[in-house]
Amino acid sequence: MNKEYENIKNSGISGNELLVALTEFELKNIKHFNSKVDLGGFYLLSGDIQRAVDFFRRAEGVIPKNPRDEETLKAIAIMHGSLAQIYLIQSEYDKAMEYAKKAVFEESNKQYLFLQAHILTAQDKQDEALALFDELYHTQRDLMAADDIRAFMYLLATAKRFGDCAAMVDLYFENGPFFNGLGLFASGAYESSGQANKAILAAFLDYEFISGYTETDNRAFLENIDILEGQLMQKGPLAETAATIRLLRCLFDNSDLVYTRGHNAFFAEHYCVLKKKILSFSLSLSEFEQYLQLERYFTLFPVYYWHLWQAALVHYPDSLASYVPALQKIILLDKDGRYAQPAWEEMTKLMGYTAE
């Protein structure tokens, strides 16, 4: 059975054809374990929770009839972990924890301990969840996924461990996708941990993210900067944050870029400097390469890709086809967004068509 199953998976077929072949194999080989786990995983990823549960349940029933080799043990852990995730989604926390604990029966399955921490969080057992995340951060840091870091940083904020929270925010920026509200959360963590410049820049990221999807009022943003500046003046000298405030202000007015400071090499600061240079047509070729290196932080920012295209127009006018994926990414992110129509127009222009 195993040989036949491997032959199907290695046959080169894919998509629905492969799904049909695996389903037919599973029906003909009712004692085969791995096929049931694979099909359960497929339906779980497809969002068909009930069919996923059906296959995982059938897999559970045939465990005693299969040898406990390395491959089967790995599949058992996946099955238990998947059922734990399903019951977590369904708010059946006791069942979720039961299966999450079953999934961790070997050293190689320690990633399911993070799942246990998520279950504790969902049960509002925040102290236990935080203690487990703390332990795992020190012992299994390499296994932390973006969702684990995100959950951990929120728990740290609730516990008012702002220095640790800020460190987790830094780690999340390096490993996870941006989401609406992340900038403001990060700003609070940085401010509470004494990192005023990073706090200001992080808050700007939320505005920049939103501005890629909908029309925003830059005048209102400038007014907010003025208000922030006034609040900071009341707290004491502005020397620490004056340069950062001036940097943000110059993105929205006609003032020149006068900025040489750096704050812990924070990517948002670097982005603002390079964006201003793109807007003022003063970006050098080496700086364009630096801008490209920032993409991993801005994969969900249409505005990032729009400015990438603007820079390419200046530096690579004879090889613009290489940068068409930036325009395509804008459209994929939001086909009705504020940069989608301009992106379409640039693509059609490149192909030799006109608006008429």
pLDDT above 70: percentage of residues in the chain: 96
CB contact at 8 A, 244 and 197: yes
Average pLDDT of the residues of the chain: 91
Contact indicator for 213, 337 with CB cutoff of 8 Å: yes
Q: What is the pLDDT of residues 258-293, one digit of tens each?
A: 766 555 679 999 999 999 999 999 999 999 999 999
pLDDT value at residue 193: 94
* For range 39-51, the mean pLDDT: 94
- The predicted pLDDT at position 107 comes to 67
**pLDDT value of position 264:** 60
Is the distance from CB of 238 to CB of 304 less than 8 angstroms?
A: no
Query: What is the set of domains in the chain, with CATH numbers?
Result: 1-109 (1.25.40)
Conformation bin of residue 67: beta by default, left when phi > 0, alpha when psi is -120 to 50? beta
Q: Is the pLDDT at 324 greater than 80, yes or no?
A: yes
Residue 72 banded pLDDT, cuts 50, 70, 90? confident
Task: Report which of 213, 146, 157, 144 is spatially closest to residue 187, judged by C-alpha positions.
Answer: 157
Instruction: Decide: helix, strand or coil at residue 217.
Output: coil
Whether 237 shows a pLDDT value over 60: the answer reads no
Non-local (6+) Cβ contacts of 300 within 8 A are 177, 178, 179, 209, 333
Q: List pLDDT tens digits, range 75-126.
A: 999 999 999 999 999 999 999 999 999 999 876 789 999 999 999 999 999 9
Q: Which residue has the higher pLDDT, 49 or 354?
A: 49
**pLDDT score recorded for residue 260:** 61
Higher pLDDT pick, 65 / 305: 305
Q: Global pTM?
A: 0.89
**Whether residue 65 has pLDDT greater than 90:** no
pLDDT digit string (tens) for 129-163?
999 999 999 999 999 999 999 999 999 999 999 99
* Nearest C-alpha neighbor of 97 from the set 116, 113, 76, 81: 116
**pLDDT of 238 higher than 80:** no
CA-CA distance, 144 to 114, in Å (whole number)?
8
Mean pLDDT, residues 203-224: 90
Q: How far is CA 310 from the centre of its chain?
A: 25
Contact 26, 35 (CB under 8 A): yes
Which of the 8 DSSP states describes residue 104?
-
pLDDT above 60 (res 356): no
Terminal-to-terminal C-alpha distance of the chain: 62
- Predicted confidence at residue 261, as pLDDT, reads 56
Q: How confident is the model at residue 222 (pLDDT cuts 50, 70, 90)?
A: confident
pLDDT reported for residue 133: 98
Q: Is 167 exposed, middle or buried (0-12, 13-18, 19+ CB in 10 A)?
A: middle
